[in-house]
Amino acid sequence: MNLHFDPETDLRLTRQMKAAPETVWRCWTDPELFAQWFAPKPYTVSKVNYDFEPGGRANLTMTSPDGKDIPLQGCVLLVEPARRLITTDALREGFRPAPDPFMTAEILFEPKNGGTLYTANVYHNSVEAKTRHEEMGFHEGWGIVAEQLDDLSAAL
């Protein structure tokens, strides 16, 4: 189904990428590739544990430049290979409710101009949550990692 994007509560990042959707998708679903682009440098990804099916885990650990681990846990909701991926932190593995729901992310991989039009739609439940996400540096952070993803997928 088409999700409803509400500019009041939701955030969007788009980027035209050089590689084809299948290659950009591979950078999402191959854990070794994923770890190379998902954290905005100098942060790194130290652990990746995804299970790409509805209800599967979407867990990873980021490590800050001073060595602090930041574990992130979520759940995979929808998998359309090389087309669309939806995950949320409102649920954990096995669709179990999470204590602190914040966002659902929908990633779209559309073939365009010989490459991929990459879109990340991020859904929140309030204007306040959206604003908080913007203040946490959504546009900069997601922009940096999209650039890293573009570079990595183009080099494969």
- Is residue 52 a contact point for a second copy (CB under 8 A)? no
Q: Which residues contact 48 (CB under 8 A, 6 or more apart)?
A: 31, 34, 35, 38, 59, 60
Site for a second copy in 117-156 (CB under 8 A): 123-126, 129
- Is residue 95 a contact point for a second copy (CB under 8 A)? yes
Stretch that binds a second copy, among 15-23, 41-49, 87-95, 138-146 (CB under 8 A): 87-95
- Is residue 93 a contact point for a second copy (CB under 8 A)? yes
Q: For a second copy, how many residues bind (rule: CB under 8 A)?
A: 33
Distance CA 49, CA 33 (A): 13
- Please state the φ and ψ torsions of residue 85, each to the nearest 5 degrees: -135, 130
- Is residue 84 a contact point for a second copy (CB under 8 A)? no
- Is residue 114 a contact point for a second copy (CB under 8 A)? no
- Is residue 56 a contact point for a second copy (CB under 8 A)? yes
Distance CA 149, CA 156 (A): 11
Stretch that binds a second copy, among 14-22, 88-96, 111-119, 146-154 (CB under 8 A): 88-96
- Considering only 17, 27, 85, 90, the residue that binds a second copy (CB under 8 A) is 90
The two most distant CA atoms of the chain are separated, in Å, by 42
